[in-house]
């Protein structure tokens, strides 16, 4: 890939990550409040679904961060940086 393509992809991924960490995390927070999650959320079906959403959000964030890392490595290699 060309450097410009890598930079565009990196910017796009960072935008997606920022959206996940802000907007989507806020949606989860609101869902948690609506599900009335107390100390023992295992008995609350709504709370269980919110926790599944919460876990999926963190998996998506982790995958995006990993992809960003890979793009950064490729970008460094394309620029000729070898530690």
Decide: pTM greater than 0.85: no
CA contacts within 13 A on the Cβ side of 58: 5
Q: H helices within the chain, ranges in order?
A: 3-19, 25-34, 45-78
Determine the distance from the C-alpha atom of residue 74 to the mean position of all C-alpha atoms in its chain, rounded to a whole number.
20
pLDDT digits (tens, 9 = 90+) for 15-46: 999 999 999 999 998 888 887 766 565 667 77
Residue 5 predicted with pLDDT over 80: yes
Mean pLDDT to the nearest integer, 59-70: 96
Residue from 19, 25, 18, 26 nearest 55 by CA: 25
Task: Collect all residues with Cβ–Cβ distance below 8 Å to 82 and sequence separation of at least 6.
Answer: none
């Amino acid at each position: 890939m060309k450097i410009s393509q890598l930079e565009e992809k990196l910017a796009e991924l960072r935008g997606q990550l920022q959206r996940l960490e802000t907007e989507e995390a806020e949606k989860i927070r609101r869902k948690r409040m609506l599900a009335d999650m107390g100390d023992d959320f295992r008995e609350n079906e709504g709370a269980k679904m919110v926790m599944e959403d919460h876990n999926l959000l963190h998996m998506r964030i982790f995958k995006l961060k990993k992809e960003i890392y890979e793009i950064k490595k490729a970008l460094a290699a394309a620029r000729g940086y070898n530690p």
